[in-house]
Amino acid sequence: MKCMLLLWAGLLGWSLHLSARNLDSLLRVVHDRDQTVRAEVIRLSQQTPPAVDSLMAAYGRMQAVDAENQRVISELLEGGGWPEGLSEAANETIWLVIDHADLEMQRRWMPLIEAQMAAGRVSKSSYATLLDRMLMREKRPQRYGTQTVSVSRVIEGDSTRAEQQCWLWPVEQPERLDSLRNAMELGPIGAYLRTVEAVYGIPCRWDPTLSVEQIEALQSEP
């Protein structure tokens, strides 16, 4: 699959001449690589006891996959803007790679993502997720409650053991969160937190009174 992606990436210099069908095939490879390596990271992170060496190796593979995917998407968008005639899955794959990129790349392409949302090519929920991720990276409250952080807490009464917890990153308007989520085609926050718990296998909490500084203090506790 890596050879296939590199072959397609080499063709991106001719992207203006490729059909939407061929671009869909390229983006399907990009999507599958992104999701496969992330599924491996999640699986290894849930093992008890944790397989630290295997998990770190998987993180390294994920970073390599992300870097390669981002090169492909950057060249595609720089070469001719957002392609016309792509499938829904292909449009969402472009968003997915940007969502998993660093803040610099996200800031560069966010106006284009917003335009594609307005045009119906990128879902409202995807746009909301990217915006929240950017706000969190800027150390600001998120808007739609799509982002969580992992916190390691020492178990009370046993300083030699710790448990992993998940916390919702602070939001701008806690009292309006569910209505804001509904407008972006996101489910209620309670259902979302339960889904996160099921995926990662750890408790996921939300305290609307906590500030960004307080959540960061939780993350830095021994």
pLDDT at 49 over 70: yes
Written as six digits, the tokens of 17 are 């001449």
Q: Comparing 207 with 153, which gets the higher pLDDT? A: 207
CA distances 16 to 20, 38, 98, Å, are 10, 31, 21
Range of the domain at 210: 148-220
Q: Comparing 8 with 148, which gets the higher pLDDT? A: 148
Q: Comparing 12 with 103, which gets the higher pLDDT? A: 103
- Do residue 52 and residue 118 come from a single domain? yes
Average pLDDT over every residue of 78-100: 94
Instruction: For 116-130, write each residue's pLDDT tens digit.
Output: 999 999 999 999 999
Helix (H) or strand (E) run with residue 186 in it: none
What pLDDT shows up at residue 158? 57
- Do residue 157 and residue 116 come from a single domain? no
Q: Computed over its alpha carbons, how large is the radius of gyration of the chain?
A: 19
pLDDT at 220 over 90: no
- Do residue 71 and residue 180 come from a single domain? no
- Do residue 110 and residue 159 come from a single domain? no
Written as six digits, the tokens of 162 are 């710790």
Task: Please tell me the distance from the alpha carbon of residue 189 to that of residue 145, in angstroms, as a whole number.
Answer: 7
DSSP symbol at 140: -
* Total domain count, the chain: 2
In a domain, 98, yes or no: yes
In a domain, 131, yes or no: no
Provide the residue count of the chain: 222
Give residue 7's pLDDT band: very low, low, confident or very high (50, 70, 90): very low
In a domain, 134, yes or no: no
In a domain, 104, yes or no: yes
What pLDDT shows up at residue 14? 43
What pLDDT shows up at residue 11? 46
- Do residue 159 and residue 81 come from a single domain? no
With the C-alpha atoms ordered 6, 11, 13, 16, is the resulting torsion angle positive or negative? negative
- Do residue 78 and residue 173 come from a single domain? no
Average pLDDT over every residue of 9-27: 66
